[in-house]
């Protein structure tokens, strides 16, 4: 039995919980991370309690001073967290009350149920802002790598088979687009996180005349048009964590995108591709094979995706069977939330740092992109321009490819007679002297100028757009 009964048990209980119960139920070992937001919430709540006459001016001043002092001590690592006080809320309140008698009034019309709902909303709100900054950093790293290698062409792949040529920048910008949608999702989620639950009490609000708007305003729960955002149902406010799940889901998609990027990086640094080289400081070695230089950042980025998915599923499962309203199960949300936020934030930052320290092997890219088979589709387009329907054109070029394979010649070395030899005998010859011109990579890239295509002009336009947007 702990000597001192925790704040939540005074009165009703004869003593503290059994030691193993305290150990099983405590959350201070992880929810201490909410301290800053817990104090912010208490400061706003106290200001409001003064406004409605619950706290005298002197009491408010004493409480605010006490909380600010505790803030300083926690920030300096001097605060002693006590497991017997269960969680961050009671640790801070108990310490305050020991120093400031008026602290005993702070919990007026407040429950840990609306307090924790507030704290996690404030925490997620800050986390989204920070994560958006990291994502922008990764986008900038991708754009920079594209800009530094604006003339580099590589094979684009489908089925991991060489398909058609693309600018490396086009490939990189594909990720910039994905990341932008991740930002939009996070920002959208932010609008539902940014709603103040304080004043919901344990489940049913309070009989005291709280000024919820004032608290919300002080804590910045205001939308883009300046309207104060308050939860509209106390039962919903203390029991749902959908905003957290939205964050976890947006983070999971972000992790998917980063994982795909990581996979590309891992392929590209392999000797088989050899498209890029990562600076030593951003790679690791092997304990056995002296020649090894491994892309561990990218591998871990890919690997960590699993726990981000797991956290999302955990949170969904945590919520699905809960009867209204608050249930202690909800305490299990925090470690999943923290782990998701920590994981995606670090992963995003490290991937950006790695890309900022990556060089492109232009010669290897040029060699791979010079494969004329990449332009077989352009040859079919050539026949379409000459009036052949696409299906037969596709068939004819297929036969051209087969002939090239049979004769052991690259596509662009076939003679005009050989090309014409595979055309169906219709009286019209579609292949002309200019046919082999399609294998000029430079001209081929200049032709791809549809919006969103990897053409020379289009890609530099997109690079410029992103540079501007991200600056």
C-alpha distance from residue 232 to each of 199, 213, 320, 379, 427 (Å): 10, 12, 22, 63, 78
Which position among 311, 325, 331, 456 is part of the footprint of ligand ARG (CB under 6 A)? 331
* Least spacing, CB of residue 94 vs ligand ARG, in Å: 14
**Residue 240 within binding range of ligand ARG, rule CB under 6 A:** no
> What are phi and psi for residue 163, nearest 5 degrees?
-120, -75
Stretch that binds ligand ARG, among 122-130, 131-139, 188-196, 329-337 (CB under 6 A): 329-337
Which position among 12, 57, 320, 328 is part of the footprint of ligand ARG (CB under 6 A)? 328
- Per CB under 6 A, contacts with ligand ARG among 377-406 are none
Which position among 215, 330, 411, 441 is part of the footprint of ligand ARG (CB under 6 A)? 330
Q: Which residue is nearest to ligand ARG (CB)?
A: 331
Across 358-382, b (16+ Cβ under 10 Å) vs e yields: bebbeebbeebbebbbbbbbbbbbb
Q: Is 159 a catalytic residue?
A: yes
| Burial class for 47, CB neighbours closer than 10 Å (0-12, 13-18, 19+) | middle
* Least spacing, CB of residue 27 vs ligand ARG, in Å: 4
Stretch that binds ligand ARG, among 278-286, 327-335, 353-361, 400-408 (CB under 6 A): 327-335
Nearer to ligand ARG, 113 or 231 (CB): 113
Alpha helices, H only, 321-332: none
Closest CA to 161 of 468, 327, 376, 311: 376
Alpha helices, H only, 241-328: 242-269, 296-320
Which string of x and - marks every residue 282-321 that binds ligand ARG (by CB under 6 A)? ----------------------------------------
Nearer to ligand ARG, 280 or 342 (CB): 342
* Least spacing, CB of residue 118 vs ligand ARG, in Å: 11
* Least spacing, CB of residue 338 vs ligand ARG, in Å: 12
Determine the Cα–Cα distance for residues 441 and 431; give it in Å rounded to an integer.
Answer: 19
* Least spacing, CB of residue 28 vs ligand ARG, in Å: 8
Determine the Cα–Cα distance for residues 226 and 301; give it in Å rounded to an integer.
Answer: 38
| Residue of 10, 159, 287, 471 marked active site | 159
Whether the Cβ atoms of residue 63 and residue 69 lie closer than 8 Å to each other: no
DSSP string, 55-112: S-HHHHHHHHHHHHHHHHHHHTT-----GGG-SHHHHHHHHHHHH-GGGGGTTTT--H
**Residue 87 within binding range of ligand ARG, rule CB under 6 A:** yes
| Dihedral, CA of residue 214, residue 216, residue 221 and residue 227, to nearest 10 | -40
Judged by CB under 6 A, the number of residues near ligand ARG is 10
**Six token digits for residue 176:** 């910039």
> What are phi and psi for residue 460, nearest 5 degrees?
-70, -30
Determine the Cα–Cα distance for residues 400 and 412; give it in Å rounded to an integer.
Answer: 10
Which string of x and - marks every residue 31-70 that binds ligand ARG (by CB under 6 A)? x---------------------------------------
Stretch that binds ligand ARG, among 166-174, 288-296, 328-336, 362-370 (CB under 6 A): 328-336
Nearer to ligand ARG, 87 or 240 (CB): 87
**Six token digits for residue 42:** 């208490």
Nearer to ligand ARG, 34 or 360 (CB): 34
With tokens 């840990």, the residue in question is 112
Helix axes 35-51, 112-148, angle to 10 degrees: 130
* Least spacing, CB of residue 38 vs ligand ARG, in Å: 10
- Per CB under 6 A, contacts with ligand ARG among 104-133 are 112-113, 116
Nearer to ligand ARG, 111 or 347 (CB): 111
List all residues 6 or more positions away from 175 whose beta carbon is below 8 Å from its beta carbon. Answer: 142, 257, 260, 261
Q: Is 190 a catalytic residue?
A: no
List all residues 6 or more positions away from 90 whose beta carbon is below 8 Å from its beta carbon. Answer: 6, 7, 8, 112
Nearer to ligand ARG, 81 or 157 (CB): 81
Nearer to ligand ARG, 328 or 391 (CB): 328
**Residue 12 within binding range of ligand ARG, rule CB under 6 A:** no
- Per CB under 6 A, contacts with ligand ARG among 334-373 are 334
* Least spacing, CB of residue 31 vs ligand ARG, in Å: 6
Stretch that binds ligand ARG, among 152-160, 172-180, 244-252, 325-333 (CB under 6 A): 325-333
Closest CA to 90 of 110, 64, 65: 110
Which position among 27, 200, 283, 314 is part of the footprint of ligand ARG (CB under 6 A)? 27
Nearer to ligand ARG, 241 or 257 (CB): 241
* Least spacing, CB of residue 331 vs ligand ARG, in Å: 4
Whether the Cβ atoms of residue 52 and residue 60 lie closer than 8 Å to each other: no
Binding site for ligand ARG (CB under 6 A): 27, 31, 87, 112-113, 116, 328, 330-331, 334
Task: Cite the active site residues.
Answer: 159, 286
């Amino acid at each position: 039995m702990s000597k001192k009964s925790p704040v939540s048990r005074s009165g009703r209980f004869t003593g503290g919980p059994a030691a193993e119960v305290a150990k099983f139920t405590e959350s201070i070992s992880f929810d201490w991370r909410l301290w800053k937001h817990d104090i912010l919430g208490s400061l706003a709540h106290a200001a409001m309690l003064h406004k409605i006459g619950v706290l005298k001016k002197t009491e408010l001043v004493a409480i605010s001073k006490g909380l600010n002092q505790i803030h300083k001590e926690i920030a300096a690592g001097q605060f002693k967290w006590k497991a017997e006080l269960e969680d961050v809320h009671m640790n801070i309140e108990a310490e305050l009350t020991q120093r400031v008698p008026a602290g005993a009034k702070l919990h007026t019309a407040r429950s840990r149920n609306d307090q924790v709902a507030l704290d996690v909303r404030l925490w997620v709100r800050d986390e989204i802002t920070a994560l958006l900054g990291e994502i922008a950093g990764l986008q900038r790293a991708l754009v920079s790598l594209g800009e530094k290698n604006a003339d580099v062409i590589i094979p684009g792949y489908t089925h991991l088979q060489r398909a058609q040529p693309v600018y490396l920048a086009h490939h990189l910008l594909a990720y910039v687009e994905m990341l932008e949608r991740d930002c939009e999702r996070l920002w959208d989620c932010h609008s539902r996180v940014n709603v103040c639950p304080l004043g919901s009490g344990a489940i049913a609000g309070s009989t005291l005349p709280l000024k919820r708007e004032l608290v919300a305003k002080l804590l910045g729960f205001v939308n883009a048009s300046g309207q104060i955002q308050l939860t509209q149902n106390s039962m919903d406010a203390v029991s749902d964590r959908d905003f957290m799940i939205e964050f976890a889901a947006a983070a999971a998609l972000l992790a998917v995108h980063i994982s795909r990027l990581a996979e590309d990086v891992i392929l590209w640094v392999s000797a088989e591709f050899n498209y890029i080289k990562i600076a030593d400081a951003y790679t690791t070695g092997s304990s056995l094979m002296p020649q090894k230089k491994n892309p561990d950042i990218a591998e871990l980025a890919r690997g960590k995706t699993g726990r981000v998915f797991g956290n999302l599923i955990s949170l969904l499962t945590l919520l699905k069977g809960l009867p209204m309203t608050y249930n202690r199960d909800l305490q299990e949300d925090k470690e999943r939330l923290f782990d998701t936020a920590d994981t995606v934030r670090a992963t995003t930052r490290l991937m950006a740092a790695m890309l900022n320290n990556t060089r492109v092997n232009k010669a290897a890219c040029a060699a791979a992109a010079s494969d004329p088979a990449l332009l077989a589709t352009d040859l079919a387009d050539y026949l379409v321009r000459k009036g052949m329907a696409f299906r037969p054109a596709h068939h004819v070029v297929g036969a051209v490819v087969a002939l090239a394979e049979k004769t052991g010649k690259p596509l662009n070395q076939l003679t005009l007679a050989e090309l014409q030899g595979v055309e169906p005998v219709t009286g019209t010859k579609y292949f002309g002297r200019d046919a082999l011109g399609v294998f000029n990579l430079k001209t081929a890239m200049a032709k791809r100028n549809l919006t969103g295509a990897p053409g020379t002009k289009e890609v530099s336009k997109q690079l410029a757009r992103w540079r501007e947007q991200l600056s």
